[in-house]
Amino acid sequence: MKFLSRLKWFFRSWKYNWKKYLAILFASLGFIFECGVFASDLYAIVNFGYNGLNLFSSIWNFGVIIFVLYFLYAGNIRNSYLAYSGVLAFIFMMVWDVIATFIIDIFPYGSNTTYSWLYIVHLLLLVLAAALGIYLYIRTRNFISGRDYRYRSLRNVAIIFLILISLSSVFEIASWSVYFSVVGFDVLSMMALFSPLVDVCLALSVFFTYLRLNRD
C-alpha cells in the first residue's frame, strides 16, 4: 500500500512539476557524462604525457560543470530563480571551451582533413550558441525583473539555443567518429564522445528550466 501511495504521489507531483524533474534529470545525466570525460582526460594525460594546459583545462571544465550543476539543482529544487545563474555559468563554460580549443590546437587532428573541418563547424556553431546564450541570459534577467513580459519570444530563443548546441554536438561527435575510425576505437575513445553529450544534457536542463518561467 505504501508503494502505491508513493506512486500516486509521484504521478500527482509529476503533473505539476515535470519541468523541474526533467531539468534535474538532464543535469544529473550531464554530471555522469562529465565524470566519464574527466576520467578519460586524466587517463590520457597520465599515459600520453599531455601538457599542463590540457590538465588545467580538464580540471577547470570539471569545476565549472559542478558550479553550473549547483545552481541548476538548487534553483530547481527550491523553485527559485537561482537556477538562472547557472545559465550564465553554462555560457561561460562554452566560451571557455572555444577559447581553450583555439589556444591548444584549432586543428586537433591535423589540418586539411575531413575530421578537422567537421570540428571547425562544431566550433563555429558553439560560438553562435554562446553569443545567443548571452542574449538569452540578458532577456531572462529582464523577464525576471518584470521589464520584459514576452515569454513566448524568450522560449523561442531558448529553443534556438538548444538547437545550436545540439547541432554543434552532432558535428563534434561526427569529427571524433571519423577520427577514431582511422586510428582505432577503444573504451577511452568512447568516453571522449561523452563531451558533446554533456553539452546537450546541460542545454536540455537549461531549456526545461526556462519553461518554468511560463506564467500563463
Per-residue pLDDT of the chain in tens (216 residues, 90 and over written 9)? 565 666 566 667 777 778 888 888 998 998 898 888 888 777 777 776 666 666 777 787 788 888 888 888 888 888 777 877 777 777 777 777 767 666 655 555 555 577 778 888 888 888 888 888 888 888 888 887 778 778 888 888 888 988 998 898 888 888 878 877 777 666 666 666 788 888 889 888 888 888 877 654
In this prediction, residue 216 carries a pLDDT of 45
Map out the domains of the chain with their CATH numbers.
Answer: 20-211 (1.20.120)
Q: Can you give the pLDDT at residue 185? A: 67
DSSP secondary structure, 62-127, as one string? HHHHHHHHHHHHHHHHTTSGGGGHHHHHHHHHHHHHHHHHHHH-SSTT-SSSHHHHHHHHHHHHHH
What's the pTM value of the predicted model, to 2 decimals? 0.80
| Cell 527550491, located at residue | 78
Handedness of CA 192, 64, 170, 105 (dihedral sign): negative
What pLDDT score was predicted for residue 29? 92
Give dist(CA 215, CA 208) in Å, integer.
14
| Phi, psi of 50, deg, nearest 5 | -65, 155
